[in-house]
Structure 1
Amino acid sequence: MSNERNGKSGRQGRRVTILSWNYERNGAGDASQRLRAHKLLASLNPDLVARQEMWGAEADGSEIMYQLEDVLGLRGWLGPRSSTAVFADPRVFQALREWPSTGPMWVLPPTALTLRFTPAGTSSMPMAFASYHLNYASAANRLAEAEWLSVWADKKWTTPDGGTVRLPALLAGDNNSYPAPVDGDVPLPELTAIADLPHRLHRSVVGPGGRRVMDTRPDDTLRTAGLEDVARHWSTARGAGGKAALARTVNACATHGPDARIDRIYATADLLGTIVGVDVIEVAEEISDHHIVRLTLDADALSDVLNRQTEQTEQAAA
């Protein structure tokens, strides 16, 4: 595991680091900046990375993807139309299946995989993981995309004894919309605080009484499907000690309005007990317009959950 590469070995204190980042336009053709950005990612020692805005990564025989694999020291999977990607340490996460057909509504299709957490053993339950990017301009399309995204919280797996179980799931990406705020969260912007009129449309929906309100529907949709915003969960569970999880993921700007937390990671309830940290790594504006969301899991707790699910299925079938 990446922490073992840093000299942190043994059962006590092992961690799994998962990052989600919308790196602006994949460097917009600037190879030196792209290298700098991914060296930053590599310095965080990730085991699993969800990337958005992978523009150009498929060109010239996916040359850029191979370059990024080399910089990160991870294996990569590029999603349809180079919209998103997943990178994983193959010693920690083994790909068992790709999901190239992600539904009909996607403008920027996700990259979705079934992964086995290898430290948990070959008989352990795998998990679903997806890197996604909801639509920028259409709240209606975002809602449909969020509904389709929920299917990865409903994937089944056949156990060795022929039973079936629903897979745990982690979904990470740019929501282009807001979470329903909790105590300590980044406040929802007022519509009039968004100076750019088209962007007011892009980030709002018609609410009760015909008044426009900020779009939180994708967040509500995913939580209705049993997927919890890990930052919301961590901040609630930890109280004042967890408020750093609710940091902005995009900075205020003249056109788009105040600071916002539009980049989020969602997890099914069975994984929430494995969380030992959620925070946001701020990135200089000259590198990207989004910051990096980091989720940290306890490796042994994760192994226990994945093996317990298999054991429970076997006992039910006995």
Structure 2
Amino acid sequence: MSAAALTLVSWNLENNGKNDPARRQAGDEMLKSLNPDLVFRQELWDAGDNGRTVFNAQARALGMHGELGTDSCTAMFINPKRFSVVRDWTQSRGPQWVLPPTALTLRYEEGGPDALPFVAVSYHLNYASPTQRLLEAEWLTTWADKGWTTPDGTRVTLPAIFAGDNNSYPAPGAPGDPALPELQAIKNAPHRLHRSYPGPDGARVPDIRPDDALRTAGLKDAARYWAAAPNGDPMAVSRTVNACDTHGPDSRIDRAYLTPELLPAVTGFEVIEVDEDLSDHHILRLFLDGDRLAAILEQAATGEPG
């Protein structure tokens, strides 16, 4: 029997609904309407208060199992019929994390007993410091290098999926990607600092270093991959944050990255725009073929190339 398609979504719902329960509920209803199997969330600031009352209510609203990260910075919601948690890589605030990610090792239940699990990470890179963002991106790559011992004693590396708010730009080169901003087009001087770093000649340039770090580590930008795929959609690299007077032009701040062996399972990627009254970020939606994912995880368990 064939496995159904899998739907993964990522969203920075601004301040978990801008501290407004009605907006938060509207956000949860929008996510539920997308029928997700995995949700990568950012900015759940109030969700951990009062014994996680808000977070538990959000999990119920989605009909999913919830995992809330440290200080409600990030979270993941999981369809328990399709995935189960093998390990929680809970992170604390510290030099490497201003907003700690939620990182989990998950088992794909339809993959069968011999299939590898995989790592899933919801993250939110620092807003104000390009130096801190680069450090955080470098640390994110450690989850693309997690080992696993198979039943026959073979040591292999787990596949991984990352999704979140990068607060920085993708490197140029993908047709249709929003252009890097002219820094002077960013009218807010502090934000101009936040989104740039000194280049080789000392002049400040738009910050692409987190994207460069992740791709240097072998991770693949899912939107860029699907935009260039033979049956893909160039709209996959659409803006995820709208232009505004203070912060500059349209940009693709929110991104998802996969380790390369997972790419054959990708069957779609899109950006779902939401009204700015609800959030300042749009929603990423990634589709995976369930049968292909199962085959990839089964093949990866042998330690041999697919």
- Residues 92-139 of structure 1: CA deviation (Å, up to 9, x unaligned): 111000001367411000000000011001221000000000000000
User: For structure 1, which segment, 180-189 or 216-225, has the greater mean C-alpha deviation from structure 2 after superposition?
Assistant: 180-189
Please state how far the C-alpha of 1:210 moved relative to its aligned partner: 1.3
In the alignment, is residue 268 of structure 1 matched against residue 254 of structure 2? Answer: no
Aligned twin of 1:209: 201
- Kindly state the Cα deviation for residue 235 of structure 1 after the two structures are TM-superposed: 1.0
CA distance in 2: counterparts of 1:46 and 1:180, whole angstroms: 29
**Distance (Å, rounded) in 2 between the aligned partners of 1:226 and 1:107:** 24
Q: 2:278 is matched with which residue?
A: 287
Q: 1:125-140 to 2 correspondence within 5 Å? A: 125-140=116-131
| Amino acid across the alignment from 2:176 | G
The RMSD of aligned alpha carbons is 1.4
User: What is the CA–CA distance in structure 1 between the aligned matches of 2:23 and 2:95, rounded to whole Å?
Assistant: 34
Summarize the alignment of residues 100-179 of structure 1 with structure 2, pairs less than 5 Å apart.
100-101=90-91, 104-179=95-170
Given residue 169 of structure 1, which amino acid in structure 2 is its aligned partner? A
The TM-score, its normalising length taken from structure 2, stands at 0.96
Q: Which residue of 1 aligns with 2:45?
A: 55
Partner of 1:245: 236
Q: Any residues of structure 2 matched to 1:79-90 within 5 Å, and which?
A: 79-90=69-80
1:257, distance to aligned residue in structure 2 (A):
0.5
Distance 2:52 2:230 in 1: 42
Moved over 2 A (4+): 101-104
CA distance in 2, matches of 1:280, 1:225: 25
State how far apart, in whole Å, the 2-side matches of 1:163 and 1:101 are.
28
- Which runs of 5 or more structure 2 residues have no equivalent in the other structure? none
Instruction: Flag structure 1 segments of 5+ consecutive residues without an equivalent.
Output: 1-9
What residue identity is the alignment partner of 2:163? A
Residue in 2 aligned with 1:221?
Answer: 213
> Quick one: which of 59, 63, 71 aligns to 1:69?
59
| Structure 2: distance between partners of 1:302 and 1:282 | 27
Given candidates 184, 188, 191, the residue that maps to 1:196 is 188
CA distance in 2, matches of 1:197, 1:101: 32
SS of the equivalent of 1:311 reads coil
Give CA deviations for 1:118-164 in whole Å, capped at 9, x if unaligned.
10012210000000000000000000000000001000111112221
Q: How many residues align?
A: 303
Give the deviation of 1:62 after TM superposition.
0.1
Cα pair 2:91 2:102 within 8 Å, conserved: no
Q: Report the Cα distance in structure 2 between the residues aligned to 1:85 and 1:246, rounded to whole angstroms.
A: 24
Cα separation, 2, equivalents of 1:44 and 1:76:
17
- Alpha-carbon separation, structure 2, partners of 1:104 and 1:158: 31
Distance 1:294 1:48 in 2: 10
Q: Greater helix share, 1 or 2?
A: 1
2-structure distance, mates of 1:198, 1:148: 26
| Offset, 1:28 | 2.8
